[in-house]
């Protein structure tokens, strides 16, 4: 099943284990064994999580002599930020309109009680 990159990123981030793996990778690359340490799961299960992150473009795997370290990739997170920015702008405009409405209403109410 082919999915758009944004959907794949959100799907990958939906799992708390994968988010924890990304948090660990944000401080530096790590092997599967290093990533598996804090979790009560097999290295195979952690490898599966890494594969999902890799398919979403959130992780890349290198090839050192004896290991394949994983590294975080930030491009998909920047894509999410761009997508969210449209909604930030929408809600900012709506709150600005609400602020103006409430300010006008407050002025109107103050005028009614000024006597």
Beta-sheet pairing, 59-61 with 70-72: antiparallel
Burial label, 105 (beta-carbon count in 10 A; 0-12, 13-18, 19+): exposed
Residue 108: the pLDDT is: 80
Model-level pTM greater than 0.95?
Answer: no
- pLDDT tens profile 58-113: 999 887 666 789 999 989 999 999 999 999 999 999 999 999 999 998 888 776 66
* DSSP E strand stretches across 8-110: 59-61, 70-72
Q: Is the pLDDT of residue 40 over 60?
A: yes
* Domain ranges across the chain: 5-73, 74-115
Q: What would the CATH number be for the domain defined by 5-73? A: 1.10.10.10
């Amino acid at each position: 099943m082919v999915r758009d990159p944004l959907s794949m990123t959100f799907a990958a981030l939906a799992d708390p284990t994968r988010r924890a793996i990304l948090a660990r990778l944000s401080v530096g690359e790590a092997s599967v064994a290093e990533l598996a340490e804090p979790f009560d799961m097999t290295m195979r299960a952690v490898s599966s999580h890494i594969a999902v992150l890799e398919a979403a473009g959130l992780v890349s795997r290198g090839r050192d002599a004896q290991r394949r370290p994983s590294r975080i990739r930030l491009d998909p997170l920047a894509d999410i930020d761009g997508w969210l920015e449209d909604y930030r702008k929408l809600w900012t405009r709506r709150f600005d309109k609400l602020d103006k409405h409430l300010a006008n209403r407050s002025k109107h109410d103050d005028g009614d009680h000024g006597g």
